[in-house]
Structure 1
Amino acid sequence: MNTSLFSKTPAVTVLNNRGLTILNVAYHRHPESPDVTTELITRHQYDTRGFLTQSADPRLAGAGLANFTYRTDLRGNVLRKQGADNGTTVSLNDVAGRPFMTVSNIGTTDNGTDDRHQAVTRTWQYEDTSLAGRPLSITEQVNGGAARITERFVYAGNTDAEKALNLAGQLVSHYDTAGLVQTDSIALTGVPLSVTRRLLKNADNADTVADWQGENAAAWNSLLDSDALITRTTADTTGSVLTTTDAQGNMQRMAYDVAGLLSGSWLMLKGGSEKVIVASLTYSAAGQKLREEHGNGVITTYSYEPETQRLNGIKTERPAGHAAGLKILQDLRYEYDPVGNVLKVTNDAEETRFWRNQKVVPENTYAYDSLYQLISATGREMANAGQQGCGLPPLTAPLPADSSTYTNYTRTYTYDTAGNLTQISHRAPATNNNYTTKITISNRSNRGVLSTLTENPAAVDALFTTGGQQKQLQPGQSLTWTPRNKLLKVTPIVRSGDADDSEIYRYDAGSLRILKVSRQKTGGSMQTQRVQYLPGLELRTTKTGDTQTESLQVIIAGDTGQIRLLHRENGDDQMRWSYDNLIGSSGLELDGEGNIISMEEYYPYGGTAVWTARSVAEAEYKTVRYSGRERDATGLYYYGYRYYQPWAGRWLSADPAGIMDGLNLFRMVRNNPLRFFDTNGLAPSEGKSQQTLGRPHIKAAKSLAAEQLSAAEKFLNNASNNDVALDIYKTFFGQHMEAEKLGLWKTQINNVSEGINKLDARKNVRYSPQKITESGEKSEAVAAEADITAFQHEGKIHINAYTHVLDKVKKNESLGVDHLAHILIHEMSHLRLGTDDNAYIGVMQHEGYHDLNAMLALLEPEKRQTGRGEPEETDKQRRARGSQDAVRNADSFTTATRYLAYTAKNADFYRHFAGQKKTFKPGSPSLITSPRWK
C-alpha cells in the first residue's frame, strides 16, 4: 500500500476558549488524485451556557444548513432536537429524570414552521411517589387519531409465594405492542427463569394494533391469542445460563470454563437423546477463541497477529480420522494495514481456477481513501451473477466441479463529503457484467434513494416519512411504517381486484421482531409463510391457500446462533453448522456429517457474489447470510433496530440511536464494511475477536452492579436504616438535605437497576479495542469508558466498550470488577437519570480506597463573580448551587449508592466512613476507604 496517501491527514479538533469542540477537521485524499487534498470541516455551535445548539457536516454546512439543532433546559437536557435526517422530536422528563412525554415525527414546512400531520405523542404514567415510582403504562397518539395505551406494566406484590419465585416488586406482566410477556420466576442474579409469550389475536394482520384500555387485566387478556409459549432457563450463581428449554420442549445445555467462557453445549429434542453441539472450546489468556470443535467432528482454529491481536486466520477442517475424510473446508487469511483496515482476504482451501484467459484466485483485495472509506474491491463472482439487485443470483447446484463457474470482478465506490455512498461501479470483463448503481442524495439531508426512484435531489425527501423512513423500496413497492418508526409492511406487488403480495412484521416493546408473515401468489393460490421468533427457536409454517404444507421448528444453538437444527414433525431433521468470517457473514454450511451443504461469498457491502449448494431444496432453507443477519424475501437484511439495503449500501431508515455513530444517520459502518460490522442496526463494532475479549468483563460488571443496586435499594426499604442513609446522602449532596429525599433516591436506584438488568452483554454492547474518531483515528482512552445512549426512550441500552481498557482495569488489583461495576452504574445514570459529569471519584493505587476530594468540592464552589450593581452571592446561595451540581453528578450518585450497598453488606464500613468524615477536609489528601465487594 502507498502510505504517502495518508501522510499529513490528521484528525484535528478545534476547541474554543471554554474547551468546547467547535470544529472537527478531516483531510480527504483519494488514490486516483493523491495530490489533491480536500479539507472537510464539521461545525458545532453553543449557547452562552456552553450547551450544544447546532452541528453541521461539511456538505450541509456549505449549503448553510445544519444536521441537528438543539434547544435545552437550564440543566442542558435536550428539550427539542431537529434533525435533517430524522425530523424533530420534543422530549420532556419529570423531576426524577424519567421520560414524561415525547412528540416525534415532526416535520418542517417550506417556511420553517412545524408540520405535525405525522406527529406521534407518547406519554409515560408512573406509580405514586410514595411507591417505587415504576412505570405503569405508555400512551401513544398519532396526530388526529385516538390515544392508545400501547404498553402496560404489572408488578408482583410481596406475598410469600412471590418471594419464593424472587418476583417481589418485579415486572411480571408486560403488555406490549405484540401481546404479553409474562415473567413467572427470576433467579437471584436477575436472570428470568420462566417467561411466557402470548401474541395478540389476529397478529398476522397488519391492521391489528395493541390498545390496553381500562384497568381490567381480564379484558386485556381477552385480546390475546390462546397459545402461551413458555421458555424456561436455569442459571448459575454468576448469572450464566446453564440450560434453556424452549417453547416446544427442546433443551439446550451449556458448560463454562473457570473464566466464565463457554466450553461446550448440547441439545436434546423433546423426547429425544442429547446431541453434542459444541464439543470443546479453548481460549487464549486474553479470552480469544483458539480452537472450536463441533458435534459434526469439524474443527475451527483461530490465529491472531502477535502485536495487535487482530484475527488473521480462520481455518475449518475435518481432521484426520473423521468419518467423511480429512479435508480443509475453509482457510481464511487476513492482511491488514497498520490501523486495522483489511487489505486482503484469501481462502487457501479453494483452488486457483482459469477461465477465458483469466486467472481466478480465491482472494479479495481492498483499497481505501485517507478517511479509511472503502473505494475499491476485487474478488470473484459467479459467471452468471448478473446485476446486483434485491434478489439472489442464480443458484449453482450441485456444487461446481469446473472452472467455468467463477470470474473476476472489480468494484469502485464513490462518496460525497458527508459520507454518503453515491455510486457503485461494477466491472466483470470476462462476462461483460458491467453496470453502475447510482444513489441520489437529498440536497437538504443525508436521505438517499436509488436513482431509479428519482434523479432529482430536491425530490428525495418526499420519498421519506418525517421521521426518516423510506416509503418505497423499488418503483411500485411501497413501505408502511408503525408510529414507532418500525417497518410494518412491504408490498412488492400490487394487484387490482386481487390480493397483493406482501410481507408484514410485528415487534415487541424493545423493537425486537417477533413475527413475520409473507404472502405471495403462486399459480392460482396464495402461499403464506409465517415465522414466529422466540428465544432459541423459530416456528416456521407454510400454507398454500388454507392447507398447511409445512411445519418446521428451527432451533438456534451456539454462542452466536450459528448452529441451526431444522426439526420436522415427521422426523426428517437436519443439523446445519454455519462457519463465518471476520464480520460474521455465513460463508460455509456443513451438515451433521461434516459435508458441505452450501457455500456463499459476498460483495463488500452485502449482496451475494458466489452462491452454490449441493441441492436446490437445501439451499432454500438458508436464511442467515451477510453479517450473520437474516435475509427477508424482500432482499432486505434485518438487523434488529433497522433494515439494510445491500444493493445500495444504505440503511432503510434513520438511526434510532441518533448521532451515536456520527451526523449521517444512513451511513453503513463508516463506509468500511470489512473492518466494521453492525450487530443491531445502531452502530458498528470492530472485529468479532473484540466481542470475545470484552463480553466476560461486561457480564461480570453487570452481575456485580445489579447485586450492589439491589442491596442499596433493600437498605433504603428498611426504615430503621434512614439515619445512616440520610447521613450518606448529606455527605454527597449537601447537609441541608431532608429525609424526604430518600424516597426520590430509592426511585432513582430502581430506575438505574432496571436499566442494568436489561443490559445484554452480547446484544447491547459494541466492542472495540479503543475509541475510534470520525476520521478513523484511534483515541487512547485514559480510563475505562462505556458510553451509554438512549434511543427513542424505548428502554433499550447500548454501550460502547473499549476492550483494551476494560481488560486493563479488570487486571488492576486496585480496581478490578468493582470499578467496572462503578462505570456501568455511572453510565446508566446518564441514560436513566440524565446525570452530568461535573466531578469524578479519584481511584487510588491502594486497594479499596477512594479519593472523594473532587466530588465533595462540588458542595463548596467558588463564589460566583457578579457584575456591577448586582447583589453578591450569599454563602447559602453558593452552597445551594454546589448542591445542585452534586445532585446532577453521575459519580456522586454512583458512589453514594454503592456506599449504601457497602454498608448493607458490612456495617463496619459505615462506622469507618463516619469516623473518617470527622477529620476529612476538602482539598486534603485524606482518603475514604471502601472495602472491595467480596
Structure 2
Amino acid sequence: MSKGIHARTPTVNAIDSRGLSVRHIDYYRCKAEERAQARITSSHHDTAARCSQQWDAGQTNTSMPPGLTSIKSFSGQVLRLHSADAGWRLSFPGEAGQLLEQWDSLGGHWKTAFDHQLRPVSITQASPQQPARVIERLSYGDNSPACAALNQCGELIRHDDDAGTLLIEEYTFGSQPVRQTRHFLCSETPVDWPLEQAQRNLLHEAGPGYQTHWRYDADGAVIRQTDAGHHQHCFAFDVAGQLKSVSLKLNASLEEITLAKAFVYNAAGQLESQTSGNGVISNATFDPANGRLRSLTATASGTTLQDLHYQYDAVGNVMQIEDKAQSARFGNNQKVEAISRFTYDSLSRLTRASGREAASHLAPLQLATSPAIPIDASQLFNYTRHYDYDSRGNLIKLQHVREGHQYTRTLSIAGDSNRMLSWNQGDNRPDAAATFDANGNLQNLQPGKSLQWNPRNQLSSVVLVQREDGRNDHERYHYDSSGQRVRKIHTTYTSSVTHNREVRYLPGIEINSSTGQRLETINIQTGRGTVRCLHWREGQPAGIETDQLRYNLEDHLGSSTLELDNQALLISQEEYFPFGGTAWSASRSAVQARYRTLRYCGKERDASGLYYYGARYYAPWLQRWISPDPAGAIDGLNLYVMVGNNPLRYTDRHGNQKEESSLRQELATYPSILSEVNKRVGTLNYQLYNSTRKRDIIKRLFQRYAYNAGRHILALGAGLLALPTGPGGAVIATVATSLSIDAAAGKAEATRHLTVALYPQTRRLDPEEIKHEGQTAFYNVTAKLQYAKDVTLNPRSETGQKNLSVMATGFLLTKVLEVKGAWIPNFEASTQATKALDGLPGQKIERMNNALARLDDFLEQDSHAINAAFDALGVDEFYPEGLKGRLGQATDRAADAVGVDSSNLISRTSLQRDIAVSRATIQRGRELLFRHNERNKSQGRFFV
C-alpha cells in the first residue's frame, strides 16, 4: 500500500440543516506523484427528507440529468423510478401498499390480483411482442382437516410459473417446506395459465414430477435432504448450531459416504479446519486482530496440495497471494512463481495485477483449453495487467503485457449512462439503442452472438453460432417465479442431425440429459468447498468411474482451484485472472474436463463464456455485468460495475450486491443492538420518572401485586391441566405459561410497566452485555443460552452466586415450606418499593450517570466505526445475509420498495439516525438522574 497514493484523500460528507447527506466527496489518485481529484456524488431530497435525485461523479453538476430519479407516495413507496442505466419503471400500489400494476420502459405491463387477505393469486404480463397472458397463479391452503394435517393452512401450496408448477405438499410448524414437487412444462412456448387446475395440469410433462424432501432439527436447520434422484444429503450440527459432518447416501445404496467431518471453529465462528472424505485436511488461519484470512492449506497423506498465503494493506485490500505448494518454474528465460501481486488506487480499485498465465491465452474472448496434467513449465509465462477507469467506475482500458504477446482493449461508454458501446480498439462507435435495449440489457456479446431477453429482463437465449440458413446453435434458459434458473437447453445443428443437451436444476441436484445419456450431478456444500457426485443413469462414458466424487478446493473467493477424486488425486486445476477469466488450467483428460462446471467464485460457466450468478450474468472478458443490477443502486449508481472494481476483496454471491461478509454481518446485527439499548435505557427512564412521588410508587406496587397473583393463577391452572401427562409436563406447562405471560405483557404498551422492576439496576447498562444480547437476538440462539448459563448461573461469579441463592430460596419456600408461588415476586416488589420510597442514594445516581455516559461514548465510537465500515464496503446500503436478508429482499421486491426508506435494507443513513435517537434517550436518562440528585439536595440528604 503506497502512502503517497492515499495521502490527503479523505472521504467527505456534506450534511444539510436537516442532517441529510447532500454531497459525498472521494479523492482519487492512481500514482503518488499525481494530484488528487475530487469525485463528487450529489443528492437532492424532497420536503419529506426522502432522497429523490442522485448524480454520480461523472455528472459534474446538478444541471445534468440525474443518474437516478424517484417519485414517492406520501407513505414512501416508489411510484416512478428512472435510472440512466436501467430505464424507468412505474408502479401503482393499492390502499394497503400492495403492488397492483407496473409498467417499464420496454412497454412491459404487469397486473397482480389479490384475494381478500391481500395474498397474490395471479400475475398477468403483457408486452409489445406478446399479448396479455397469465404468467403466474398462486394457491393457498384452507382450513380443511387435510390441510391442517400437513400444516398447509394459509401457506402457499401451488405456484404455477414460466417453468412449470411447484407443489408444496407439506410444511413444518415453522412454515418450512417438508415435501415439494416440481413439474416442468411439456412445451417451451410461453404459457398462459388457465383458471381451472385440471386444465393447468394438462400443460405438464407426463410423469410424477421431481420431488424433494427435507428433515429439520429443533432449530430449523436441515439435517437430511432427499433430492429428486432419491439421494440423501445428511448434515449434523453441534450444540452451537455449527456444522460438524456431511455425508451422502446414494439411491438404492445402504452405505452412507462421509464427505466432510472434524470441523473446527474459532471463537469468532470462522471455520479453521475440516477433513474431507478423501482424506484431505483443510486448514485456515485468521488474523486475530481483524479476522482476515491469512492462509488456506490442504494436505493429504503428507503431501501439500494447496498452501495459499494472503497479504493485505491497511484497509483490507489483498496485496499478494502466494501458493507455496507450487514451486517456481523456469522456462522461456523466465522464473515463473506462483505469486500474484496487486496494486490499487486511492478508491481501492484494482489498477495493476501480475501473475502467471498459459501460452494458450492469446485472445480476450478465447475459452481456455485444458492441457494434460502436469502442465509443461514452458507453457507458463509471467503477465502484468493494467486497468484504467473513468470517473463513474467503468473500465475504459485494459493493457495486457507478457513477453512475446500483449494487447490493449479500449472500451467506449455512453455519455449519459454507464452502458458500454464497444470493446475492441478501433471499432466504430455504435448507437446506444442498438447495443442495449431500453431496460439496459446488452443485445450482443460480439458479432454473431446475439442475446434475447424476456420481459422480466432475464436472459432467455444466446446465439452461439449464427448461420445463414437460420439454423443457429443456441442455448435457452427458463426461470421459476423467484427468478432462479431451473432449465438450460443447448441445441446444435449439423447437416443432418440436431443435438439437444438439457440441464434441469433442482434442490441439491442437476439432471443432465442428451441423446443416449442421463447424468445426475449431486451438489453438496461441505463447509469450505463443494463435493459433486456424478451418478450415471444411462450412457456412462469411458474414462470416468461410477459415482465419481469430485472434491473442490477453493480460494478465499470461493473459486474452484483444484478438483480431487476420492483418492485425493488431481482431476483438474485452474487459476484465474483477477476479474474471472481463466489464466491457465489443466486436467487429467478431456473427458474429465468436460464435466467441470463450477469455476470462478464457485459459479457455473455456460457455453457462451458467461457466468450465471442467480440474479444476472457476468462477462469476465468485459469485467462487467451484461444487465443492470435488479436490486437497484445498492452498490452505487453504476449498475454494471463488478464488485466496485475490487474483485480480490469483494464477492457477489447472487449477482445483485457486493459483499465483504464479516463487515456486513457486524452491521446487520447493529439494529438489534440499538433496539436493546433503547429497551434498557427506556426502562430506566420509566423507573426514574415514576420514582419521584410516593403515590406513583405505591400505585405501581399494587399493580405488581395484582399482576403477580394473576400470572400465578394462570400458570398454576396450566400446570394442573397438564398434570395427566406427568409431573414433568406440569412443570413445563407452568413455566412456559409464566414466561409467555411476561413476554406478552412486555410487548403491549398498556402492560409493559408491569414487568419492569420498581428500583433501577445499574448493571443493565453494561455496554458489553447489551452488545452480546443484541448480537445474539436473531443469529445465535444457542450461543445466547450458553452465555446466559455461563454468566447468570456460574457459581464462580458474583451474579451466578446471587442467582443460584435466589433459586435455592425459591425452591425452599415453594417446595419445602409450601409458600404460595405469588408471594416471592410480591416480596421482591415490596423490597424494591421500600428502596424507591427512600429515594436514590447519591452513590447510586453517580454510578448510573457514569454508566449512561459510558454507554453514550460507546455509541459515539460506533457511529464513527459504522461510517468507516460502509466506506470500506464501498456501499451505503445492503441486504443482510442469510434467510432474514433473502426474505427482506423478496418482500421489498414484491412491494416495489427496494431503496425506499421503509425497506429492509441496512443503510448508513438509517443506522446513524437510530444512533442519534438512542443517544437522545440516554441524554433524557441523565436529565432525570440530575432531577433526582437535585431532589435529594433540596431535602438535605444523600449529597453527592
Q: TM-score, normalised by structure 2?
A: 0.72
**Counterparts in 2 of 1:152 and 1:177: CA distance versus 1, 3 Å:** same
1:564 aligns with 2:532: yes
The amino acid of 1:417's aligned partner reads S
**Aligned partners of 1:25 and 1:40 also within 8 Å:** yes
User: What secondary structure does 2:523 align onto?
Assistant: strand
Which of 445, 466, 469 is 2:417 aligned to? 445
Cα distance, 1:394 vs structure 2: 2.6
- Map of 1:816-895 to 2, 5 A cutoff? 830=904
The structure whose residues are more often helix, as a share, is 2
User: How far apart, in 2, do the equivalents of 1:695 and 1:610 lie?
Assistant: 38
Give the aligned partner of residue 618 of structure 1.
592
Change (3 A) 1:829 1:565: same
2:203 matched to which residue of 1? Answer: 223
Amino acid at match of 1:562: T
The one-letter amino acid of 2:531's match is I
- Give, in whole Å, the separation in 2 of the partners of 1:797 and 1:53: 16
Q: Secondary structure at the match of 1:271?
A: coil
Change (3 A) 1:787 1:191: closer
Partner of 1:396: 371
Q: In structure 1, how many angstroms separate the alpha carbons of the residues matched to 2:422 and 2:870?
A: 26
Q: 2-side partners of 1:509 and 1:134: how far apart?
A: 15
Matched, 1:138 2:112: no
Matches of 1:426 and 1:78, distance apart in 2: 44
The alpha carbon displacement at 1:359 in A equals 1.1
Question: Which residue number corresponds to residue 77 of structure 1?
Answer: 77
Q: Deviations over 1:571-615 (max 9, x none)?
A: 722100011111111001100110011110000001100110111
Percent identity over the alignment?
34
C-alpha contact 1:454 1:460 (8 A) present in aligned 2 = no
- Select the residue among 387, 398, 403 that pairs with 1:413: 387
Q: Within 5 A, what are the aligned runs for 1:190-339?
A: 190-202=175-187, 205=188, 208-213=189-194, 215-227=195-207, 228-272=209-253, 273-318=255-300, 322=301, 326-339=302-315
State the partner residue of 2:40: 41
Aligned residue among 496, 499, 518 for 1:551: 518
Residue type of the alignment partner of 1:367: T
**d(CA) in 2 for partners of 1:17, 1:842:** 15
Deviation at 1:3, TM superposition (A): 1.3
Checking the alignment, whether the CA contact within 8 Å between 1:583 and 1:677 is kept in structure 2 is yes
Structure 1 residues 659, 426: CA separation in 2 closer, same or farther (over 3 Å shift)?
Answer: same
Preserved CA contact (<8 Å) 2:67 2:637? yes
Structure-1 residue corresponding to 2:812: none
Q: Secondary structure at the match of 2:346?
A: coil
Mapping 1:439-838, distance limit 5 Å? 439-452=411-424, 455=427, 459-497=431-469, 499-521=471-493, 524-542=496-514, 548-559=515-526, 562-569=530-537, 572-686=546-660, 776=872, 790=889, 794-795=893-894, 830=904
SS at match of 2:356: strand
Q: Retained in 2: the 8 A contact 1:773–1:779? A: no
Letter in 1 for 2:73: D
Between 549-558 and 143-152, the greater mean CA deviation after superposition: 143-152
1:829 Cα deviation from its structure 2 partner? 6.6
Alignment CA distance shift 1:536-1:235 (3 Å): same
Partner of 1:922: none
Which residue is equivalent to 1:355? 331
In structure 2, C-alpha distance between the alignment counterparts of 1:30 and 1:577, rounded to whole Å: 41
**CA gap 1:20/1:393 in 2 versus in 1, 3 angstroms:** same
In structure 1, the partner of 2:319 is 343
Provide closer, same or farther for how the CA distance between residues 51 and 654 of structure 1 changes in structure 2, counting only shifts above 3 A. same
- Between the aligned partners of 2:526 and 2:895, the Cα distance in structure 1 is 22
Following the alignment from structure 1 to structure 2, what is the Cα–Cα distance between the partners of residues 516 and 696? 38
Q: How does 1:59-138 map to 2 (within 5 A)?
A: 59-61=58-60, 64-104=64-104, 106=105, 118-128=106-116, 132-138=117-123
- Equivalent in the alignment of 1:931: none
Aligned-pair Cα RMSD in Å: 3.8
The verdict on how the C-alpha distance between 1:451 and 1:278 changes in structure 2, with shifts beyond 3 A counting, is same
Please say if residues 440 and 456 of structure 1, whose CA atoms lie closer than 8 Å, have aligned partners that are also in contact. no
| Pairwise CA distance, 1:92 | 2.0
Shift in Å, 1:229: 0.4
Conserved? CA contact 2:259–2:526, under 8 Å:
no
Give the direction of change, closer, same or farther, for the CA distance of 1:777–1:254 in structure 2 (3 Å limit). Answer: closer
- Asked whether the 8 Å contact 2:635–2:874 carries over to 1, the reply is no
Residues 777 and 588 from structure 1, CA distance in 2 versus in 1: closer, same or farther, beyond 3 angstroms? closer
Q: Answer whether contact 1:336 1:343 (CA < 8 A) is retained.
A: yes
Give the deviation of 1:830 after TM superposition: 4.8
User: Closer, same or farther in 2 for the Cα pair 1:681/1:330, shift >3 Å?
Assistant: same
Which letter does structure 2 place at the counterpart of 1:68? L
Give the C-alpha shift of residue 279 in structure 1. 2.2
Q: Assess if the C-alpha contact under 8 Å between 1:441 and 1:457 holds in 2.
A: no
- CA drift of 1:841 comes to 11
User: 1:488·1:504 contact (CA, 8 Å) conserved in 2?
Assistant: yes
Structure-2 separation of matches of 1:852 and 1:189: 37
Residues in 1 aligned to 2:237 and 2:747: alpha-carbon distance in whole angstroms:
40
Deviation at 1:300? 0.3
CA distance in 2, matches of 1:524, 1:617: 25
SS at match of 1:30: coil
CA contact (8 A) 1:770 1:778 kept: no
Q: Any gaps of 5 or more consecutive residues in structure 2?
A: 673-739, 752-777, 781-864, 925-944
Deviations 1:495-514 (A, max 9, x none): 23352100000000111000
Q: Output the CA distance in 1 between the equivalents of 2:410 and 2:482.
A: 34
2:76·2:901 contact (CA, 8 Å) conserved in 1? no
Quick one: structure 1 residues 224 and 301, their matched pair in 2 at CA, closer, same or farther if it must change by over 3 Å? Answer: same
Quick check: 185-194 or 584-593, which moved more?
A: 185-194
What SS does structure 2 have at the residue aligned with 1:599? strand
Runs of at least 5 residues in structure 1 that lack an aligned partner in the other structure: 107-117, 543-547, 700-720, 733-758, 762-768, 801-825, 855-934
| Contact 1:770–1:779, Cα closer than 8 Å, also in 2 | no
CA contact (8 A) 1:26 1:775 kept: no
Does the aligned pair in 1 maintain the 2:341–2:355 contact within 8 Å? yes
* 1:399, distance to aligned residue in structure 2 (A): 2.1
| Residue of structure 2 equivalent to 1:52 | 51
Structure 2 distance, partners of 1:680, 1:243, is 25
Task: Compute the displacement of 1:549 (Å).
Answer: 2.7
CA distance in 2, matches of 1:366, 1:607: 16
Q: Distance in 2 between matches of 1:47 and 1:354?
A: 64
Opposite residue 33 of structure 2, the aligned amino acid is: P
Give, as a single letter, the amino acid of the residue that structure 2 aligns with 1:51.
R
Closer, same or farther: CA 54–843 of 1 in aligned 2, 3 Å: closer
Measured after TM superposition, the shift of residue 146 of structure 1 is 2.1
2:20–2:49 contact (8 Å) kept in structure 1: yes
Matches within 5 A, 1:366-377: 366-377=342-353
Deviation at 1:790, TM superposition (A): 4.5
- Name the structure with the higher strand share: 1
Partner of 2:163: 178
**Contact 2:98/2:895 (<8 A) preserved:** no
CA distance, structure 2, for counterparts of residue 728 and residue 310 of structure 1: 40
With over 3 angstroms needed to count, the CA separation of the structure-2 counterparts of 1:603 and 1:779, relative to structure 1, is: closer
> What does the per-residue CA deviation read over 1:360-381, in whole Å, with 9 as the maximum and x for residues that have no partner?
1101000000000000000001
Tell me, in whole angstroms, the C-alpha distance in 2 between the residues paired with 1:792 and 1:244: 26
SS at match of 1:218: helix
Equivalences, count: 731
